[in-house]
Amino acid sequence: MLLALVLASPPTAHSQGAEAAPNADSNADSDWPVFYEYYPPSTLVVPEHEVRRAKYPLVDVHSHLFEMADQDLSEVVAEMDELNMAVMVNLSGRGFDRVANPDGTMRFALRGGDYLERAVKNGRVSAPGRFLVFTNFDPNGLGEAGWLERTLAQLETDVANGAQGLKVYKSLGLGAVDAEGKRIAVDDPRLDPIWAKCGELEVPVLIHSGEPAAFWLPKDEHNERLFELIQKPERYRDPERVPSWDQIMGEQRSLFAKHPETTFVMAHLGWMGNDLARLGQLLDELPNVYTEIGAVLGELGRQPKTAHAWFVRYQDRVLFGKDSWTPSEYHVYFRVLETDDEYFDYYRRRHAFWKMYGMKLPDEVLKKLYYKNALEILPGLDRSLFPAD
């Protein structure tokens, strides 16, 4: 009760909430923790199994190295070895650059020129077979004369230079604007030639659309991602000003349906990790769609039974992804996927303030998640890095 009252006050000063709470009783003078500081160490005594190394060699299909062309990769490779990560897919093959707008403000843009080619080469020279690179395109300016021709030519060149797929950032559908300054829908028909080209070149498209639905919800005690919206206020999506979650994810679904010849990997479980039945329906209807678990482990670890059954049912459609390269965080992934441990910590409270439980996936399901499904859709993978069966 008191925690809820504290929550109702601005999350600034430590004690301010308790003082301001209207019905604070005899504890009114106490220095109560605000809700996001309340995280008592567990006193539960149960078996614990830390997993620092994946049971099978792993392909991480959702990673980002933003300086891969010029980076010394030896440290990354050593860390990958410790995790039993055979291959990292760097989705940021075109890196990022800061460029000036006409008005002097700065924005991020993709790197042009031979950046991607150098990134691919660096991977091949430093650690043959251990890195795959996806290319990117910037949807801003769609509709300008020559935009489509330029973008298609770049895509073909990048694939010829070793890119193994296309990663689409969430800006498509959320912020990117066309030549007229209008928001570009995820399924904008003017982009159709790009998705068709990926099908033709037989490279998958890993696409991140939208955000967790909670980012559109009121910032109050009913919002499961409130802590994140306090820590990262810019992530809030004002429903008055931006299209709804349903709109954006509906556009993504329509894109998948329009291009059955193209293989898509829907990033982050399509932000449906909290409703796996709904996600399963989408996969049932769209056989060209796979998904991956980057940054959404917290959803799985709170429903180990439902998630276990779902992973068994959809074992051919899910890939391993993580998103941010922090090696120790993979241990939590492995623990949720491989053990049946109970009530242990996740690594980022703004994703999940609740505890994790292990799903203990069957070996065959784990193998598919870790590498077999990746082998199906990424023909550039070196098969010799994985068990033959």
Distances (CA, A) of 63 to 198, 267, 323: 20, 11, 5
Residue 308 C-beta: closest distance to Zn ion, Å: 25
Residue 258 C-beta: closest distance to Zn ion, Å: 24
- CB-nearer residue toward Zn ion: 5 or 83: 83
Count of residues engaged in binding Zn ion, rule: CB under 5 A = 1
Residue 295 C-beta: closest distance to Zn ion, Å: 7
Distances (CA, A) of 381 to 2, 58, 251, 302: 54, 11, 31, 33
- CB-nearer residue toward Zn ion: 34 or 378: 378
- CB-nearer residue toward Zn ion: 323 or 338: 323
Q: The dihedral of CA 151, 249, 182, 230: what is its sign?
A: negative
Distances (CA, A) of 41 to 14, 90, 302, 344, 355: 20, 36, 18, 10, 11
Task: Check if the beta carbon of residue 193 is closer than 8 Å to that of residue 315.
Answer: no
- CB-nearer residue toward Zn ion: 21 or 133: 133
Task: Check if the beta carbon of residue 322 is closer than 8 Å to that of residue 61.
Answer: no
Residue 175 C-beta: closest distance to Zn ion, Å: 16
Sketch the per residue contact string, 355 through 384, with Zn ion: x for CB under 5 A, - otherwise. ------------------------------
- CB-nearer residue toward Zn ion: 325 or 354: 325
Residue 235 C-beta: closest distance to Zn ion, Å: 14
Binding flag, residue 60, Zn ion (CB under 5 A): no
Structure tokens at 153: 């030519």
Closest CA to 139 of 42, 255, 3: 255
Positions 303 through 332 that interact with Zn ion (CB under 5 A): 323
State the DSSP code for 200: H
- CB-nearer residue toward Zn ion: 158 or 323: 323
Positions 97 through 116 that interact with Zn ion (CB under 5 A): none
Q: Which residue is nearest to Zn ion (CB)?
A: 323
Residue 323 C-beta: closest distance to Zn ion, Å: 4
Task: Check if the beta carbon of residue 52 is closer than 8 Å to that of residue 101.
Answer: no
Residues that bind Zn ion (CB under 5 A): 323
